Amino acid sequence: MRPRAMTKLTFGAAAAATLGLLASLAPTADAHQPSGHKPELKRIGYFTQWGIYGRNFQVKDLKTSGTAAKLTHINYAFGVIGADGKCLMGNAPGSDPWADYVRPVDAASSVDGVGDTADQRLAGNFNELRELKAANPGLKVMISLGGWTGSAHFSDAVRTDAGRKALVASCVDTYIKGNLPVDGARGGAGAAAGVFDGVDLDWEWPGSEGAPGNVIRPEDKPNFTKLVREFRTQLDAYGRSLPKAQRKHYELSAYVPTAPAKIDAGFEVSRIMRDFDFVNLQGYDFHVSGEKTTAQQSALFAKNDFSVDQTVKAWLRRGAPAHKLVVGMPFYGQGWTGVTGGGDGLGQPATGPAPATWVAGSEDYKHLKKLAASGTYKLHRDYRNGHAWLFDGTNLWTYDDPTVLRTKASYVRHNGLGGAMIWSLDGDTPDGELITAIDRGLNRR
């Protein structure tokens, strides 16, 4: 995690000074939040469908690491919006029914220690999430729709009232009602009922550029508002339609951007926030390894640059209630190689993304911790602005470690925000070092 000389360093004088800044640099008080209203601070972690393969990160790992007990929500990434404008499971890029509900999980890998049987209607990640919820009463699971590579069809799907109704109805049918396509013994009507407690919209981005090839229209902005309203309407209607003892409120959230230009292009903030239970703010990728100069990717504060504080204030100024703003925190780092110019490496030219375990330029915290302990890298920390980076003279990694995350959690608590969101849970250490830091920061422990 840190060089040997700094292994006992957590909240020293410099870190305490950072917390002292929180009051003077705090966002405006939340006029929407009733006096004395102190809801539970959220701890939302994204579980990646594909993490079960190369990373071998299973739902059971959330139990054995102690992570599940520290979460309020798990966002399952991702549900797919197909070219037909509906939630799709099957033959489409990003859809993996095998991982979702077909794959048999053996006893050793199962949350409850019992292996899946051949005649079981629900297996795979969905069944494991159901078991995890049974072991952790109060834990909610949301289906996250879209993602960076899965947002291509949103704009087309929501152009008309009929299209929005069809999209939402298909998503409610598949994930909330749990009506899955039949695959051998798996699936069928109600097979996944009770797994998901709500929907997280991850359209990147309405009205502005996202992944190459995404359709973008100026009318995405009002259409997004109408889509949110349609989700709220259908989720509420279904929740009320259940037998009295089973009636519930299905939650609705979204992942939203940091850049003011993207906020203004795609989000009617004061209107959509009436229907959202909360939104997850982009709190990372402020700078990425594809850029020619090294920079912070997730600083709490930054002058004339993107930062967590800038993002929070941008949403508050546009009418978002503070208690509905959940701050995104990365469990990975952005890295550059070929860094020249000396010094601590930050703000210097680089030749490209740094080599990494899975994808060049992006590395899980658990691997960055090993780099920090190797003696090859030096840890640098900006206490005032709340970020850290590693530099070995050639390679630079900017990331959040437990010290940074505790500071950010204190910022959330101090400013009456909604909690913390994590991308993604598979980046943490096997003993849940990062989620523990967030949990302690949110709880003053």
Residue type, 332: Y
Pairing of strands 352-353, 332-337: antiparallel
User: Is 204 in the active site?
Assistant: yes
Pairing of strands 140-146, 87-88: unpaired
Residue type, 274: R
267 touches 221 (CB < 8 A): yes
Which of 40, 128, 131, 204 is catalytic? The answer is 204
Burial 180-205 (b: 16+ CB within 10 A, else e): beebeebbeeebbeebbbbbbbbbbb
* Residues annotated catalytic, as ranges: 204
